[in-house]
Chain A
Amino acid sequence: EVQLVESGGGLVKPGGSLGLSCAASGFTFSDACMMWVRQAPGKGLEWVGRIKSKSEGERIDYAAPVRGKFTISRDDSKNTLYLQMNSLETDDTAVYYCATCRGSNDPLSGYYYYYYMDVWGTGTTVTVSS
């Protein structure tokens, strides 16, 4: 069974740091593109960032609000995705989800686009408050 389990959430003061993990099982993690998505209390979904597989150069992209504050990484030997969050602000309070990303090859450019998430974790809650 394909499964993603996030952990590491908790209460942290503004300006603090926190690291999240996402343990993957049931599929070949090293071949997978992975995303982080968050949802503030009572709000909509927000894309946080994406990391491609090592065979695709492990390219990492971030949403503007977290660029320079958050760092995505992966350890394929542990089948685990990470999200290191620094300089946390109250606006970073949210449930954080990891998900596998899928896509397809554009026949004109030959470029492989990732553009949807098919398997999601259950989420871990991060609260930034003094």
Chain B
Amino acid sequence: QSALTQPASVSGSPGQSITISCTGTSGDVGAYNYVSWYQQHPGKAPKLVIYDVSSRPSGVSNRFFGSKSGNTASLTISGLQAEDGADYYCFSYTSSSALYLFGTGTKVAVL
């Protein structure tokens, strides 16, 4: 496996909640609670928003919520705001020789 699978795009209206999935295998997402999520605005560096599946770094809004079930991790953004429009990537440690895998990335559009 070369990448974790994410939907190409997700959209929502301001104030709504959206969820981005990140599907891996029993050798990565399913095996470890080592999933993190990154937000990237155009032309900018990625920013950590979730680590350890569901932990938020200091300064990240509590509107960002991470979870995991089986081989799929999820990022939920509640109370969607215009500033949440960005690309989001999941990232996981893997027991395979690849060592680490990024997700394919999801573009979030705030309608």
Contact = CB atoms under 8 A, between A and B. Distances in A.
Given A44-B103, A47-B101, A120-B48, 12 more contacts: A37-B46, A44-B3, A45-B102, A47-B91, A50-B99, A102-B51, A113-B34, A115-B91, A116-B36, A117-B46, A118-B57, A120-B45
A37 B99 CA distance: 13
Majority-rule SS of A interface residues: strand
Interface string B48-71: 100110000100000000000000
Contact of B52 (A46, A97, A104): A104
Given A45-B46, A45-B89, A97-B46, A115 B36 contact: yes
B105 interface: yes
B32 A115 contact: yes
Given A97-B46, A122-B45, A116 B102 contact: no
A116 B48 contact: yes
B8 to A, nearest CB: 10
Contacts, number: 66
* A-B pairs with lowest CB-CB distance, top 4: A116-B36, A115-B34, A44-B105, A115-B93
21 contacts: A44-B3, A44-B103, A45-B38, A45-B102, A47-B102, A63-B99, A63-B100, A64-B97, A104-B52, A113-B32, A113-B34, A113-B93, A115-B36, A115-B51, A116-B51, A116-B52, A116-B91, A120-B46, A120-B47, A121-B45, A122-B45
Interface of A: 37, 44-47, 50, 61, 63-64, 97, 102-104, 113-118, 120-123
Interface of B: 3, 32, 34, 36, 38, 40, 45-48, 51-52, 57, 89, 91-93, 97-105
B62 to A, nearest CB: 18
Nearest to A46: B102
Nearest to B91: A116
Contacts of A64: 97-98
A44 B48 contact: no
